[in-house]
Amino acid sequence: MNAIIAYFQSIKIRGIGWILLLCLYLFANQPILIIVYLYLAAVMVLRTWLAQFPHAAKVGLTVAYALLMVIQIVFVSAIVFPLRGASIMYFVAKLVGVGMVVLPLWVERFVTTNNQTVFYLPTVEEAATVSFDELRQSADTLSDLMSGVAAASDKVSVANVKTIIDDLPRHSSVHYINHGTLTPAYFEAVAATLNDEKLYLAVSNTGSAASEMISVFTRKQFNHVSLAFDRDLATIISYNGGDNVYPPGMNAETLEFFHQKKGASVLVYSLPVTVDQKTFVRNKIAEINRDGSAYNMIGLVSKHSAKPNIMFCSQFVYRMLKLAGIAYFDMKAGEVRPTDFIEQDYYKKLTFEYELKF
């Protein structure tokens, strides 16, 4: 940690740099900050490819700058400017947003000077003693990197990025915006299932823009998980974006929700529970429906929630299991990914029911 801090401190900002950062803080609006992030990412990528770096380092840095740019844009769009005029925290959040401008410089400094990183640049002496076996391993690593970049480029498409950015104003990471979207008919359907002493987990690969972007970070095929009270998924529920019908937060889902691309699929598992445990989960969902909820988009990165009912899908499902005393693995709710419900089932608590393919 001290080494990392030292690298950050080695990036000196002097004179005009401080003036430019101050001007950004005082006068920049959301579009200007996004343009600055885009411009710096482009400059750093160009600088990387013109430099005398190994090819693997160039590819790795390019991916790092692209992902960092996405995080910067999401942060200012979903956190900073929604607070403008609504909270004093806007000024703190904007300070962080402006500070993130220099992150690409820190990334370059850290990657090119830390000899423990995967992108360590060897000295001339080290390069002269590279064996043929090491060259082969480097070629394999580069091939894997290029394959990963190619897959990521398909998912981080202009259309997907535009869809997510256009959807950001509907979200809130600090306020409950979804209230009472679950109807009495939904809870009547749940009540009819209580004698079935099972809960059902549906892990899905929906193909939505958000799911595709999340898969770039998780490197997993399945990036959404839902909870259902019946095997046929008539009562399926999770945290989602509301499918442009309801506000982002806790919403009931339909099978159409999972079919957003060719090849989408759903894996359905059952978990044995008691009637009391199933009733507890039903009551907790009713409480959230009454008090309000919101989708924890920022939590996908920060792993934290501003309020108890602001969650993302896997955070919600795990919390329901944990509160009901039926969680079969131990993790922090904010760190649970959808595939963890399958991969962490060391004691074989789940039973595979069926797979839906679209």
Q: Which of 78-87, 109-118, 172-181, 265-274 has the lowest mean pLDDT?
A: 109-118
Worst-scoring range by mean pLDDT, 33-37, 192-196, 308-312?
33-37
Is residue 356 predicted with pLDDT exceeding 70?
A: yes
DSSP letter assigned to residue 114: -
Check residue 108 and give its pLDDT: 72
Contact, 98 vs 33, CB < 8 A?
A: yes
Can you read off the two tokens belonging to residue 312? 């993302």
pLDDT band at 244 (very low <50, low <70, confident <90, very high): confident
Tell me if 331 sits within 8 A of 111, measured CB to CB.
no
More confident residue, 242 or 201: 201
Most confident residue range from 5-14, 226-235, 238-247 = 226-235
Nearest to 47 by CA among 36, 68, 61, 60: 61
Q: Is the pLDDT of residue 269 over 90?
A: yes
Q: Is the pLDDT reported for residue 159 higher than 50?
A: yes
CB 282, CB 194: distance < 8 Å: yes
Per-residue confidence band for 204, with pLDDT thresholds at 50, 70 and 90: very high
The lowest-confidence range among 54-68, 230-244, 247-261 is: 54-68
pLDDT at residue 54 is higher than 80 = no
Residue-wise pLDDT tens digits, 286-320: 999 999 999 998 887 778 888 999 999 999 999 99
* pLDDT, average across residues 1-26: 57
pLDDT in tens, 319-352: 999 999 999 999 999 999 999 999 999 999 999 9
Of 156-165, 239-248, 293-302, give the lowest mean pLDDT range. Answer: 156-165
For residue 129, the tally of other CB atoms under 10 A from its CB is: 8
pLDDT for res 302: 75
Phi and psi, residue 94, nearest 5°: -70, -35
